[in-house]
Structure 1
Amino acid sequence: MTAATLSDPIFHDEDAARAHFEKVRWPEGRTCPHCGVVGDDQSTLLKGQAHRAGLYKCNACTSQFTATIGTVYEDSKVPLNKWLLAMHLMCASKKGISALQLQRELALGSYRTAWFMAHRIREAMIDTSDTPLGGEGKVVEADETYYGKPAVSPVTRTNGKPFLKAGKTGMKKVRNSRPVVALVERGGKAKVFHVGVADKATVSAIVMANVHPATRLHTDESRLYVGAADVFASHETVKHSAGEYARGDVNTNSAEGFFGVFKKGMKGVYQHCSEKHLNRYVTEFGFRHNTREKLGFTDAMRTDAAILGTVGKRLTYRRTDEAYV
């Protein structure tokens, strides 16, 4: 069962949304989250005004449960149909959708509610698989970019007092600005990371942990990838500084294409993003890339993939104020 258009009942009727979510979460039949028993005949729907909609009682352990237990939807007061609509809008929008736009589209009571919903949806988009990219005969492109302003700290005068205004003489750069590392399998999926510092040790560890050793690795001439030929089937580079962007099939065009969509979305849609949340946005763009049309996904299938990703994940409002790593 998939939702095809915005007119689908699952986006407007809470009962239809609940039925859709249950089918996505429990394709083999209802599963009790307390004892694990599986089967629609193993639990009973509790009816009547004394029970909230979608509440079941397990016939085996007698515990009560709903489909939203153990998901990012748990304890939310937002109707489930609005949750599914928010997920569809985020999944169908190539460059994302702002929390302010979500607030307007879903008629939510506050910007804070929309913002928190968007972050919970990004939590559902996290790829928990550890399958490496590439393999024999395959190409993985590795590249890095920088998004946002560099971290700065005040410069103090010789008398120990700080400058009153930030400027070229009053602030100093602490490190390079918000690095993002992308590993993109040509014609396949991507794994993308925001890192504190893009140095050789950090980038090398990411590449070796996420790329199969039988892979052909393509990068630019950055020294961050020096020594990769000793780890992978081959390491081929293009020299951007000399105006070389492709040599035969050697290029980093897929990685650069991903960064192009990412930056257009961040600058044109989200505009402002604190560094502690940057990895959440990186996750969002990576999820859409990995469920794009060229890999056989429709908007409806992408939405259902995100819906399934809600299971086993929780995000409290307090945790959104923590750095996501």
Structure 2
Amino acid sequence: MNLLHFIEQFPDETSCKVHLRDVRERDGLICKKCNGTKHYWLKAKWMWQCSDCRFRTTLRSGTMMEHSNLPVRTWYLAMAFMTYSKKGISATELQRQLNHSRYTTIWSLMHKIRTAVGKRDDLYKLEDMVEFDEGYFEVATKEKDKQQLKRGRGSQRQSNVAVMAESTPLEDLQTGKKSSHCRYFKMKVLDTHRAEEVNTTIANSFDEMSIVFSDKSTSYVDISDYVEMHVTEKSSRETTVTTLKWVHIAISNAKRTLLGIYHKIKGKYLQNYLHEFCYKLNRRYFGERLFDRLVLAVSFQYWYKSV
């Protein structure tokens, strides 16, 4: 969706609310009180009422927009701008485009959207043949480390990230040349290099019938316990461009994107930026439909996952 199309489809707050109502009804409403799924719309109050227990659900209840004082159209504009660009947009630029007075409000809004897309992608697991490796991303140091900067130790540190990519092997029948095709990606920040944390990431991210390719890191010794097969190769330049090709392409692209737009990222927010990067990468062929998918992610009833 381009800007002109957005203005035509959502000229005011009411049009955005009507669209949000339709999206939530298509996705399915769940009553917070009785878990009922049958509701009817109260037009005068802009609420749904449960057919079973009469509990009322507001338009934003259970979504990332709940408790937000911003208009729905501001949320829609933010999602539109975040999907217009292939790479992304900074909070400073979005604040300027929305003509909003407070940077922190826009920054918080964008992180809520990034959290929503991360939760959406967590609903799915990678399957079939999957590449797995780790990349090191530079993040800004803490305030207390400023003394180190004066001693010439730099202003950034390395954060370890597990990078996963579905990779389908291909072979040209005429030439016999082998290649691979990538599908979906996941990136998870790791707090440690221990095998236990890697195992948790594998269990939460991969289908049990997957075949995983990785190098021979000692942190990967238990991967075979969580998947159908684990194939390892000694880390080398050839492994990087063949067996783990798409993982390292994703790492390079993510680093370039984050550095070019956000410059310095605090370690505790790195996962949110990776959520956005992977969400857009996984839907790189969606085109204008990406905006609609983002609205669906933000309006999804995440509270229900914890019930």
The normalised TM-score by structure 1 is: 0.73
Gaps of 5+ in 2: 168-181
2:210, 2:55 → 1: CA distance?
49
Contact map agreement 2:139 2:267 (CA 8 A) in 1: no
- Letter of the 1:309 counterpart: A
- Letter of the 2:43 counterpart: L
Contact map agreement 2:214 2:244 (CA 8 A) in 1: yes
Query: Aligned runs of 1:126-145 on 2, under 5 Å?
Result: 126-128=118-120, 129-134=122-127, 138-145=128-135
| Corresponding residue of 1:308 | 296
Contact map agreement 1:25 1:308 (CA 8 A) in 2: yes
| Corresponding residue of 1:287 | 279
Query: Aligned runs of 1:173-322 on 2, under 5 Å?
Result: 177-186=158-167, 187-226=182-221, 228=223, 232-237=228-233, 239-240=235-236, 243-245=237-239, 250-293=242-285, 297-300=286-289, 302-310=290-298, 311-313=300-302
Bigger radius of gyration, 1 or 2?
1
CA offset at residue 149 of structure 1?
4.7
Query: Aligned runs of 1:69-218 on 2, under 5 Å?
Result: 69-128=61-120, 129-134=122-127, 138-149=128-139, 165-166=147-148, 177-186=158-167, 187-218=182-213
TM-aligned CA distance change 1:259 to 1:245, over 3 Å: same
Contact map agreement 1:142 1:255 (CA 8 A) in 2: yes
- Letter of the 2:95 counterpart: Q
Deviation by residue 1:248-288 (Cα, 9 ceiling, x = unmatched): xx421211122122112210111121111111112111211
Deviation by residue 1:111-150 (Cα, 9 ceiling, x = unmatched): 111101101111211235454322xxx3201111111258
1:32, 1:227 → 2: CA distance?
41
Contact map agreement 2:199 2:222 (CA 8 A) in 1: no
- Letter of the 1:44 counterpart: L
- Which structure's residues are more often helix, by fraction? 2
2:27, 2:235 → 1: CA distance?
52
- Letter of the 2:252 counterpart: G
1:154, 1:120 → 2: CA distance?
27
Percent same amino acid among aligned pairs? Answer: 26
TM-aligned CA distance change 1:272 to 1:60, over 3 Å: same
2:231, 2:124 → 1: CA distance?
21
Contact map agreement 2:131 2:214 (CA 8 A) in 1: yes
Contact map agreement 2:140 2:266 (CA 8 A) in 1: no
TM-aligned CA distance change 1:101 to 1:200, over 3 Å: same
TM-aligned CA distance change 1:103 to 1:278, over 3 Å: same
| Corresponding residue of 2:38 | 38
2:144, 2:50 → 1: CA distance?
60
CA offset at residue 55 of structure 1?
4.4
SS in 2 for 1:127: helix
Q: CA RMSD in A?
A: 3.5
- Which structure's residues are more often strand, by fraction? 2
1:292, 1:4 → 2: CA distance?
16
CA offset at residue 307 of structure 1?
1.6
SS in 2 for 1:267: helix
1:65, 1:57 → 2: CA distance?
6
TM-aligned CA distance change 1:288 to 1:34, over 3 Å: same
Contact map agreement 1:96 1:269 (CA 8 A) in 2: yes
- Letter of the 1:16 counterpart: S
TM-aligned CA distance change 1:213 to 1:10, over 3 Å: same
TM-aligned CA distance change 1:107 to 1:84, over 3 Å: same
CA offset at residue 4 of structure 1?
6.2
The normalised TM-score by structure 2 is: 0.77
Contact map agreement 1:11 1:85 (CA 8 A) in 2: no
SS in 2 for 1:197: coil
TM-aligned CA distance change 1:213 to 1:312, over 3 Å: closer
SS in 1 for 2:42: strand
Contact map agreement 1:32 1:65 (CA 8 A) in 2: yes
- Letter of the 2:105 counterpart: T
Deviation by residue 1:225-259 (Cα, 9 ceiling, x = unmatched): 3464675424042632xx31468xx4212111221
